[in-house]
Amino acid sequence: MSRIGKKPVELPSGVSAQLSGQTIEVKGPKGTRSFTATDDVTITLDGQTVAVTPRGTSKRARQQWGMTRSMIENLATGVTTGFKKELEIQGVGYRAAMQGNVLKLSLGYSHEVNFEVPAGVTVTSPKQTEIVVEGIDQQLVGQVAANIREWRQPEPYKGKGIRYKGEFVFRKEGKKK
């Protein structure tokens, strides 16, 4: 039994869901998101509650059961509160600034890095050393944050680079004479 899958998803107030076949569409104050489930699970909609049950006892059906329930819960969370990833920049001369739809990063390279922000995500830079990525799609928000972090990952000797807020970077001791 899937511990996650057997819990029904309670839709918050102000959120409506529509089910057509294996596709569920969730509308809320921040927008509309949809998810198409595989044929291994059955989705039922009862008012403000969405339940997922597996079709059969195969391993794949049990895997899809919990995953489908989590995806539906993420749809509901995304259209109500949204998702947010915060990044910190550490290093002398490292900074970020938004110019229109482009995030300009100075990361110690001989040139400035211009990161084009994709549609569906908003990127802000409240301080020169902070980047905030927000959106209603959890996967897209996480991927954009990872792509930004990829330009200069934190290194273990001085800790310079782009890191998630609160991320622990294991520090190494330098060479001894």
Map out the domains of the chain as residue ranges: 9-80, 83-164
Question: For all residues of the chain together, what is the average pLDDT?
Answer: 92
User: Tell me: the pLDDT tens digits for 146-155?
Assistant: 999 999 999 9
CATH annotation of 83-164:
3.90.930.12
d(CA 132, CA 25) in angstroms, rounded, equals: 27
pLDDT reading at 176 higher than 90: no
Asked if the domains 9-80 and 83-164 are classified in one and the same CATH topology, the answer is yes
Assign 83 a pLDDT band (cuts: 50, 70, 90). very high
| CATH label, 9-80, candidates 2.60.120.200, 3.90.470.10, 3.90.930.12, 3.40.50.720 | 3.90.930.12
Q: Reading across the β-sheet that carries 121-124, which strands appear in turn?
A: 121-124, 130-135, 83-90, 161-164
Average pLDDT, integer, range 92-98: 93
pLDDT reading at 2 higher than 90: no
Average pLDDT, integer, range 34-42: 93
DSSP code of residue 76: H
d(CA 79, CA 82) in angstroms, rounded, equals: 6
pLDDT reading at 85 higher than 80: yes
Amino acid at 83: F
| C-alpha atoms less than 13 angstroms from C-alpha of 37 in its C-beta half-sphere | 31
Q: Which of 157, 23, 160 is nearest to 95 (CA)?
A: 160
d(CA 162, CA 155) in angstroms, rounded, equals: 9
pLDDT reading at 1 higher than 70: no
Q: What angle do CA 146, 152, 155 make, to 5 degrees?
A: 110
pLDDT at 5: 86
User: Tell me: the pLDDT tens digits for 131-170?
Assistant: 999 999 999 999 999 999 999 999 999 999 999 999 999 9
- The distance between the two most distant Cα atoms of the chain, rounded to a whole number of Å, is 71
pLDDT at 4: 86
- Name the percent of the chain lying above pLDDT 70: 99
